[in-house]
Amino acid sequence: MPRHTRPGPPQYLAFASLVLWCAWTWQSSAATARDTPLPEQLTDHTPLWWYALLAAVAVAATYVIRTPVRATRPVARLLSPETPLPTALTTTVLALLLPPLLLGVPLGFLASDAPLATRWNGYADLVTSPVTLGLCVAVCAGVALVRRAGRGVAAGHSG
């Protein structure tokens, strides 16, 4: 009888998540560096072609990515049912909150002439923003749902 292995999340989902995380890193770091509220950064400081590019890459991933991509392995591990849920959720929140801290505050001088204190203020505003809090909740819920679905699929194959 053939032995079934526990399937991981779809490769395109991991790739699309990585693309969207890179977009979040760019937008949130820019908002931090400029001390611009995130909703304003997303609406007034982002050209429409950026959203079109993100949508195209995320959709193209479902057609193009058929083999594992090394850069998506951390995302696949995060979504794997083998990773403890508290670890997955903590990693998810840190992945959303650390890039603007690490890139927007100390390296923000590359994108903005705002002083360091202003960039710190921008980070505090970003972290407490309803947009950020909503995103954290939505992404954590998504991680939990994908892990739960993966656990159900694995349980169906274990017999």
Q: What is the pTM of this model?
A: 0.79
User: What's the pLDDT tens digit per position in 54-91?
Assistant: 888 877 766 666 666 777 788 888 888 888 999 999 99
Interatomic CA distance for residues 50 and 16, integer angstroms: 15
Q: How many residues does the chain have?
A: 159
**pLDDT > 70 in the chain, percent:** 83
The per-residue pLDDT for 85 is: 93
User: What's the pLDDT tens digit per position in 33-54?
Assistant: 999 998 898 888 888 898 898 8
Separation in Å, CA 96 to CA 62, 114, 131, 133: 24, 23, 12, 10
Interatomic CA distance for residues 25 and 20, integer angstroms: 9
How many other C-beta atoms can be found within 10 angstroms of the C-beta atom of residue 45?
Answer: 13
Side-chain-side CA neighbours of residue 70 (13 Å): 0
- Averaged pLDDT of the chain: 83
The per-residue pLDDT for 64 is: 65
Separation in Å, CA 67 to CA 45, 62, 80, 130, 133: 35, 11, 17, 37, 34
User: What's the pLDDT tens digit per position in 83-130?
Assistant: 899 999 999 999 999 999 999 999 888 888 889 999 999 999 999 999
Model confidence at 32: pLDDT above 50: yes
The per-residue pLDDT for 4 is: 45
The per-residue pLDDT for 159 is: 44
